[in-house]
Amino acid sequence: MLRTILDPDCVRACVHYFTLEAEIDRLIEAIANLMQALPLCVQ
């Protein structure tokens, strides 16, 4: 489950025993892709 938190700007990822390993892998891949797309000063 993901939810947006407005202050500070962020997204919170909640994983638990019912989260599939494939879903966690997809989340990690999406975060890696986002990090590559952001300017270095934001990272």
Mean pLDDT of the chain: 79
Q: Measured between alpha carbons, how far is 14 from 41 in angstroms, rounded to an integer?
A: 27
User: Which tokens go with 37?
Assistant: 């797309």
Angle at 25 between CA 35 and CA 12, to 5 degrees: 60
Q: What average pLDDT does the segment 18-43 reach?
A: 83
Please tell me the pTM assigned to this model.
0.63
38 pLDDT above the threshold of 80: no
